[in-house]
């Protein structure tokens, strides 16, 4: 292990002494595993990394901090497979636990227990295929047992652990603008500048490469990069999860698979997966994610319409946020 460069990287991104110490221990254990199984770090593939995750799960060691350490190591040393596998597990890994807690508060312990009966709560390292199976069961039970008006508001709050501080720059940008239209113009400019930078450097955007094809597509689709206001509603289309793969997909199903961001639903899109498609009502969680920065900007709860979603069989995920008058 190139310990000192990695330690310098961890210091640079603001990790504590204890976090750095733990991360070095995690990577040492990982490299011992690679040596024992005659695997080369530089050429690791997704399958080999998933086998290591199975080992961690068996040892009850697939905890959040360990996966973060592995993701950081992959990113720092440009081991794309390691970074993207860990990121796919870390992204939204808290959703099911948060959903259960919120339902317990809203519906009570007895109903929540019935909804989650027989469900093994996924840990951080749980395969996304198993996550989709679990979420499919939970949503089916909810829709059968409880009126939508009791659980949809929970999803619309978004089940992610996303601190308000994460959006502080967006709030500051809005406050510097004369109106929402100017803010959207500047937000688009910053977004496309970042995409061009990532395209030139070869770095990833939340796990996806911004290839020349992806960049051209984003530059020509302002509903993604900017959004458009119609009848006092801001219409936004989500960026595909893997834009380049989506652009070059061979079938409609493959396109929907590469478009969907949700680790709790994506694997259910494949018809040959043996997984029942997760209910499209679960996309309310994505709607909550989309509207959160605008709720912080306007300092109030906003209504959002779900116009199109991949789980509903549409080609894109499109939302319309009602703006204050």
For 208-247, the pLDDT digits (tens) are 999 999 999 999 999 999 999 999 999 999 999 999 999 9
Cα distance between residue 139 and residue 130, in whole Å: 14
Q: Where in the chain is the domain with CATH 1.10.150?
A: 3-90
Segment 224-227 long-range contacts (CB within 8 Å, at least 24 positions apart)? 225/188, 225/191, 225/192, 226/184, 226/185, 226/187, 226/188, 227/184
Instruction: Say how far apart CA 185 and CA 166 lie, in whole Å.
Output: 20
Average pLDDT, the chain: 96
pTM of the model as a whole: 0.93
pLDDT, tens only, 166-175: 999 999 999 9
Task: Say how far apart CA 280 and CA 198 lie, in whole Å.
Answer: 32
For the domain spanning 3-90, the CATH number is: 1.10.150
pLDDT exceeds cutoff 80 at 266: yes
Query: Mind listing the pLDDT tens digit for each residue in 40-84?
Result: 999 999 999 999 999 999 999 999 999 999 999 999 999 999 999
Model confidence at 2: pLDDT above 90: no
Residue 4 CA, distance from chain mean position: 31
**Looking at residue 325, what is its pLDDT?**
83
């Amino acid at each position: 292990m190139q310990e000192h460069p990695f330690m310098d990287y961890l210091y640079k991104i603001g990790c504590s002494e204890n976090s750095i110490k733990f991360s070095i221990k995690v990577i040492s254990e990982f490299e011992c595993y690679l040596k024992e199984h005659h695997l080369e770090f530089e050429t690791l593939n997704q399958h080999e990394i998933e086998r290591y995750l199975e080992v961690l799960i068996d040892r009850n060691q697939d905890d959040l901090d360990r996966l973060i350490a592995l993701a950081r190591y992959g990113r720092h040393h440009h081991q794309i497979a390691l970074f993207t596998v860990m990121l796919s597990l870390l992204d939204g890994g808290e959703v099911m636990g948060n959903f259960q807690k919120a339902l317990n508060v809203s519906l009570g312990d007895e109903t929540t227990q019935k909804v989650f009966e027989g469900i093994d709560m996924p840990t951080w390292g749980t395969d996304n295929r198993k996550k989709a199976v679990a979420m499919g069961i939970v949503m089916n039970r909810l829709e059968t047992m409880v009126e939508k008006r009791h659980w949809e508001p929970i999803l619309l709050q978004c089940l992610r652990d996303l601190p308000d501080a994460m959006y502080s720059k967006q709030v500051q940008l809005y406050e510097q603008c004369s109106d929402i239209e100017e803010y959207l113009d500047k937000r688009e400019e910053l977004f496309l500048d970042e995409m061009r930078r990532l395209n030139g450097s070869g770095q990833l955007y939340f796990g996806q490469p911004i290839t020349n094809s992806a960049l051209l597509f984003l530059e020509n689709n302002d509903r993604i990069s900017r959004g458009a206001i119609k009848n006092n509603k801001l219409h936004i289309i989500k960026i595909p999860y893997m834009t380049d793969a989506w652009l070059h997909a061979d079938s409609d199903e493959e396109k929907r698979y590469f478009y969907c961001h949700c680790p709790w639903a994506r694997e259910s899109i494949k018809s040959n997966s043996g997984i029942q498609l997760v209910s499209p009502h679960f996309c309310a969680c994505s709607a909550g994610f989309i509207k959160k920065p605008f709720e912080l900007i306007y300092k109030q709860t906003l209504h959002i319409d779900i116009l199109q979603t991949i789980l509903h069989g549409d080609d894109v995920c499109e939302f319309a946020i009602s703006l204050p008058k």
